[in-house]
Each structure stands twice: as C-alpha cells, then as structure tokens.
Amino acid sequence: MNEHHDNELQNIRTNNDLETLKQAILDHLYYTQAKPVNLASLNDWYMAVAYTVRDRMMKNWIKLIQRLNDKDLKIVGYLSAEFLMGPHLGNALINLGIYDEIKEAVESHGLDFQQLMRQEEEPGLGNGGLGRLAACYLDSLTTLKVPAIGYGIRYEFGIFDQQVHDGWQVEKTDKWLRFGNPWEIVRAEIRFSVKLGGHTENYVDEGKYKVRWIPEYQVTGVAYDTPVPGYKNGAVNLLRLWKSEAVESFDFTAFNKGDYFGAVNEKVFSETITKVLYPNDESYKGKRLRLTQQYFFVCCSLQDALRLQQMRGLSIEQLAESTPLQLNDTHPSVAVAELMRLLIDEHELDWDKAWHITKNTLSYTNHTLLPEALEKWPLPLFASVLPRHLEIIYEINNRFLDEVKATHSNDDQLLRRLSIIDENGEKYVRMAHLACVGGHAINGVSALHTELLKQDVLHDFYQLSPEKFFNVTNGVTPRRWMKLYNPQLADLITSKIGEGWITHLDTELIQLENYAADADFKQAWWQIKQQNKIQLAQLIKERTGTDVDPDSLFDVQVKRIHEYKRQHLNALHIVSLFNQIKKDPSINIVPRTFIFGGKAAPGYYIAKLIIKLINSIAETINNDADVNGRIKVVFFPDFNVKNSEYIYRAANLSEQISTAGKEASGTGNMKFSLNGALTIGTLDGANVEMLEAIGIENFFLFGLKTEEVMALKYSGYKPYEVYQDNIELKEAMDLIRTGIFSKGDHSLFDPVINALLSYDPYMVLKDFQSYADCQQRVAEAYSNKDHWTKMSILNVARMGRFSSDRSIKEYCENIWHARPLL
Ligand code: F58
C-alpha cells in the first residue's frame, strides 16, 4: 500500500464532519468498549469519545515515530519524576481544534458534554508546581515544534484524593487507572532491564581494568506512551512513562514445590517500584523505595535515549548535540552516575570520553531553596541499592576535588562544602552537588530564586563556574489555563485582539491595554468574572454545603499546604476580621469569601492541623449571627488540576503570601493573574517579576523583603514580642486559644500557635500587620468596581511574559541549543 492510499484511508476514518464523528463514537462504543448503546455507561461513552479523539492524533503520532529515525533530529529529553498532566480530553480538543465539533457529536447522542468531560479521572502523577510545570513544558515544546520526550514514572496510584472529615484531611488512594486509560499505548517491545543491589567485582579483560556489577535483583521497565499534541500545528510529542515488571512473573520452582504464593513474590516486589507516588512536598525523606524509583526511571530513560541514538544512526559521541537531557530537580540526578556507568561499563568508553559526553548532555533545574527539601541519601542506603554508582560517584568526586585544588584553592573548608559526599557526621550523597558537577548548566526558576542560588545555596559552585548558571523564569501554558479553563474570557480577548495571543502571549496580550478604559469592554469583563463566580459558588455548595455570595470578593489561596506558604497568616487575618465584627457588629466591611484549597503531606502534622484550623474557623464564622454572611470561609476539598478549572477563573484576589526568599517561583500566581485576579503578595519568587510587569499600582504588595528576613533572623527574631506589641494579632491568637473554633478545646491548635510564638521560622507574626493593612487597601479598591476592573484588565494585558512558551524558548536558546522544527 502506498502512502497516498494510507492518507486516503486516514482521511475517511478521521474526518471531522458531524456524521463521521458520530459514527466514530458509535464504532468505538461497539468495537472497543463492546457495548450496545442501550447498555453503555457514561464511562463507556467517555472512552469511546476519547478513542475517537485519539484516532485524530494518530497520523501525526505516527509521523513523529517515523521521524525518530531522522539523523538530523535533535530530541530534548525532559526527565521528571512527576508529570501532572491534568485531564487529557479537553486539552486534546483545544489543541487539535475540534472542541466544537466533538461537543456537537457528543450532544447529538443525547449526552451532556460537560458531564462526559468530568468522567475522566485525572492522571495525578505529581505533587504540585514541579509536576505541573513539566506538563506545561511538554505543551509548549510541542506547540513550538521542538521534538521532545518527557520521561517519567507510570505510578499506578498518583497523588492521594483528599477528603475532609470533621475538618480533618483524610487521604484516599487515587485509583486513576481503575476504568482504563484510553490515552496511553503500551510499547511492550520497548523494555529495559534494571539492576538493583548486590555488589561489584573487578576483572581484567584484554589488559583493561573493568568492573562487573552483580546485582541482587533485576526488574524490567516497560514503556507506556501518551501523545502530547501541539496547539493546532500537527505536531505530537511523547510522554513516555515506565512501569516496572518482574523479569519472570512466575517462579516455577516455587510453584512446583507447592508454594503458590511464593511463586508470584518476585512479581509483587518488582511491581512495587512504580506502585505509588510519594506525596511529599518540599520535604525530603530518605526512603529506599524512592531512591529505587528514581534510579529505575533514569536507567530506563537513558537506555532508551541511547537506543534512539543508535536508531538514528548517530554515534554515542554525538549524544550531547542530538539529545540534551534536562533533570527536573535532583530526582533524576542519579543520571550523572548512570550515564557514566552505561558509557564505561556497557559501551566500553574510557573515563574522559564518557565524562565529556555526560557533562555536555545533562543540565539541572533547581526548584527549591528550603534546606529540608534538598535530597541527600545516607551512604549505606545508597551503597546497598546502587553499589556501582557509589564507586563512580567517588571517582567523579575525587577528580572534581583534585581539579578544584589544582585550579582554585586548597582550602579544606571549601573542599568539604563542595564535596558530593557530605562528611559532616553521618555520611550522605548530596544529589544537588552531583547534578552541578555532572552537568553543563544549572538554572533557577525565577530571577530572585536564581540570585539566591548563586549567593547562598550553590554559592561555592557559582564561584567556581559562573558560566554554568542561568535563570529561566517559569511560565504556564495559555492553552489549558486560559483557552480551555476560561473559555468566555478567552473569547472576549480574541474578539478584540484576535487569536494570536494563544501562541504569542508575550507579544500579543499587551494589546488589551487599549481596552482598559473601554466601558463596554469593562462591563463584559466584569460580567464574565461574575458568571465564573456563580459557577464556583454552585460547586462550593455541592462539595461543602456552604452558601457563598457571588457578589462578595472571592479571595483565594490554593496550593499545597505548607508553613512557608503561610495559609495560617491568611487564617489569622480572617480571625482578626471576625474579632472586629464581634466588637462592633455594625462595622462596615466589604463582603468577602475566603476560599482555601490544597493537600497536606500525610506525615506533615502541622499542615494537617492548619487545614483543621481553617475548617474550624469556617464553621464558626459562617454560622455567626453578627457576621451575618458578610464573610464566609470555605475549604474546597481535593484541589487538583481538574477542580482548578472552576477556581482560578472565579478569583478576584490571588493570595501569594510566602515568606520572602522561600518560594522558588510559584506558578499558581501566574494562572490567577492571567485569569484576571489581582495579587496580594510578597516580594518572593516570580511575584517580583510579575509586579515589575504589572506595575505596583495594580498589585497589592506587603511584607518583609528577602534581605530583611535574613537580617532579622540573623539579629535574633523574637516573635513573642511581636505578639505582645500588636493588639489585633494578640487578640486573634488568643481567641483561637479560647476554644471558640474548637468546641471549647483550648489546646487543639496549640502546636500551630506555639510554633508561631516560640520560633515562627516563616515570620508570620512579623508580617501580620503589613498584611492586614494591605488587605484593607484591597477591600477599599474592590469597592470601586470600575477601577478594579481596569486594574484587572491591565494586569492580564501585562502578563504575556509568563507563558511557558517563553520559558521553553529560553531553555532552547541558552541550555539545549535546540531550534524549533519548522
Ligand atoms: C515547586 N516545587 C516550587 N516541588 O515550590 C515552586 O515555587 C515552583 O514554582 C515549582 O516547583 C515549579 O518550579 C515543587 O513543586 C515538589 O513538588 C517536590 C516533589 C517531590 C518531593 C519534593 C518536592
């Protein structure tokens, strides 16, 4: 069959006219789901629609696979332990440009389209910002036609589902694969073997000194591919996730001895590796299984990259030019040692050649400044999982330190600080150091964050190789976060400035400035926000039982719950407002709905107690006769990508209130702002650059600056004195201790209160007054709807820089030296 014939067949099957689409859905219901129309469940219909849409990506998917043989193709590998993709269907419809067509076809079968979309289980294969960033980056890579593969782990259970029982977070297993996953294709023939544990042996082969790794176990990694469509450009990239399997799934020796359960033991052990995502956020725990997960996916991904290299007829020496590999934080940083091992032990290259290739291929993105989040593996643990890698790391470290001694300094303290091995007490492998030494580029994710990396966390490395350091400020994709999740606002924008903004946000969005004074436009802008708020209010009623007023100011803080993000600062301010009302019920206050959402790491007690505190405050305030509905507090359960659709677009005010110097970038700040919310925030992470772009007159700034936080810490911060000196703050904290929010239990919230009074590491108390004053300015500003709307429009107009397309272009230019394929 010739290509022409192929194309014709394709076109007949994947036309987008109504009749073809309707029939395609019925065909999948029948031939894929094996269901007649009258017995089909909503999930059957969803699956049939998903396969119908997937069929429409096939031509370009196959084109991509064919192109993988192309010598001249540069492929970016994005290695990440997390990809928080969000539901696929809506995104695919937007990017393929067939949203309305599919909607019509679905409705013509008598189905509710929105309900069908909600049937999709979210693939929650990430914790928060870092995982979602990886997803935005895949969207931008494909939209910019940069060939790329996202390499990661196919967790059977993603981030837990959050329920709220009696105000407390309860975690439920996320069984996202339970009803099938129509978006992935298992590539059963793409499988690699992964060794674990055991020991090494030296031997001599043809006069050459060599090392053999005798593992204790061996498992297999199998590739599962999900297509990532670009925005209306015919491009598809791959998300390739690895699932672990047993080499032999059944042990006949055990079985023959009558040990039926023993016969599947190995299978159980092997499959454990990709069973579940660790739900930790910004805190590192040295768990053997986590290191095993990291190594497992790195080992499979690097073998795959080398296989593709060979397939393209390229030599291993060309790896760096043909396949730049980005390490998304240190989770894949064992890649430095693994690539060396593959090149030396398996491909028999000498050390210097292998080192040259490794260094030039890999680069590392740092996402955190918090010391407790920096990964370091206890040496004995590392040795027992990866004995060969530890030897290689020692060798890398020795050579590195020798070079420093020779070219820079013999200062013993400096060498100890730089060493990949931490020898101050119990010994550790410092993964950030491994990534810095073993790669050619290191980047932070906002201007401030990169500066702090250079000055503080990675200062010694910066002094040594300043040319390795880059900043790439994060961005988010306007396709999902605007066009898909705020269709009405997107249409309004398009009606004025055309649709160029969807792919050229940085140059096009600014034209909106011209409409900031246009009365009709402002009216339409306000109306859309109102409608989005009405929808969110309905959802809040459904999920929490609470009635909220869509005319009130929607003040929203959604993100992981963490002390550095300071949800408790927000809560203290609410309590102080409550106090004011109780003292003078006739006080004039601007009605507000405070909305919180976010998951706490299951083992992070204080974070869970903060959730309980918010829910307790909500219960009291929402039912108080003096308050009389003027303020409402809501904790929206199970904040995830799917639920976020209703939240960002409905916000008037976005809370970005972390302690200065702690939030690497933040990306929720950008999603809110691009949807018309104004920001109340500190000079932290990307807030700094947003403020610069938006203008101080359209931004509610408060709080200590990074240098002030550092100076205060240095000079001896005394939170108790702040508490005693600030009457509003003191009364708010004391009120919590009366038990008024906890059915008379005085001590329930002591761990939160006492931490604030004694250490307050994130300076919540110090920033309280500045925050409260700023909130007062917000209330006044919101009272002038016309001016508020103008600020909202200008705020969106000036956010063009924060598209992930701009970020990806910077990675391409400065780090990967990759060019879009046009
Ligand atoms: C986040 N990190 C940063 N880590 O906190 C945020 O400021 C930044 O915008 C974002 O990365 C993207 O650069 C983050 O989300 C994690 O979720 C890790 C998951 C694995 C364990 C350690 C935390």
166 torsion bin: left (phi>0), alpha (psi -120 to 50), beta (else):
left
Amino acid at 471: N
Write out pLDDT tens, residues 62-117.
999 998 899 999 999 999 999 999 999 999 999 999 999 999 999 999 999 999 99
pLDDT over 90 for what percent of the chain? 92
Contacts of 495 (CB under 8 A, 6+ apart): none
pLDDT over 70 for what percent of the chain? 98
Write out pLDDT tens, residues 464-512.
999 999 999 999 999 999 999 999 999 999 999 999 999 999 999 999 9
Res 403 pLDDT > 80: yes
- Our mutation pick for probing the ligand 1 site, out of 282, 374, 671, counting the most ligand atoms within 8 A of Cβ, is 282
Res 442 pLDDT > 50: yes
DSSP 211-276: EEEE-SEEEEEEEEEEEEE-SSSS-EEEEEEEEEEESSS--HHHHHTT-TTGGGHHHHHHHHTTTB
**How far is ligand 1, taken at its centre, from the CA of residue 265, in Å?**
35
Write out pLDDT tens, residues 312-341.
999 999 999 999 999 999 999 999 999 999
Residues in the chain: 822
Res 253 pLDDT > 80: no
Write out pLDDT tens, residues 640-686.
999 999 999 999 999 999 999 999 999 999 999 999 999 999 999 99
**Cβ(279) – ligand 1 distance below 6 Å:** no
| Least trusted range by pLDDT, from 5-19, 48-62, 373-387, 763-777 | 5-19
**How far is ligand 1, taken at its centre, from the CA of residue 351, in Å?**
34
**How far is ligand 1, taken at its centre, from the CA of residue 124, in Å?**
15
- The two three-digit tokens of residue 792, written as one number: 């909202």
**Cβ(101) – ligand 1 distance below 6 Å:** no
Instruction: Give pLDDT, residue 11.
Output: 67
Q: Longest Cα pair distance anywhere in the chain, in angstroms? A: 92
| Cα-based distances in Å from 229 to 184, 253, 304, 477 | 13, 47, 21, 13
DSSP 127-165: -SHHHHHHHHHHHHHHHTT--EEEEEE--SB-SPEEEEE
Buried b / exposed e over 117-153, threshold 16 CB at 10 Å, is bbbbbbbbbbbbbbbbbbbbbbbbbbbbbbbbbbbbb
**How far is ligand 1, taken at its centre, from the CA of residue 682, in Å?**
18
**Cβ(684) – ligand 1 distance below 6 Å:** no
Q: 106 forms bridges with which residues in the sheet?
A: none
Ligand 1 nearest atom to the CA of residue 365, by list position = 13
Q: How confident is the model at residue 1 (pLDDT cuts 50, 70, 90)?
A: very low
Q: What's the whole-number mean pLDDT along residues 204-225?
A: 95
Instruction: Give pLDDT, residue 280.
Output: 87
- The two three-digit tokens of residue 700, written as one number: 């509610």
Instruction: Give pLDDT, residue 13.
Output: 83
Write out pLDDT tens, residues 262-283.
878 878 889 999 999 999 877 7
Cβ(445)–Cβ(664) below 8 Å: yes
Tell me what the pLDDT averaged over the chain comes to.
96
Q: How confident is the model at residue 822 (pLDDT cuts 50, 70, 90)?
A: low
Torsion angle, alpha carbons of 213, 214, 215, 216, to 10: -160
User: Whole-model pTM?
Assistant: 0.97
**Cβ(666) – ligand 1 distance below 6 Å:** yes
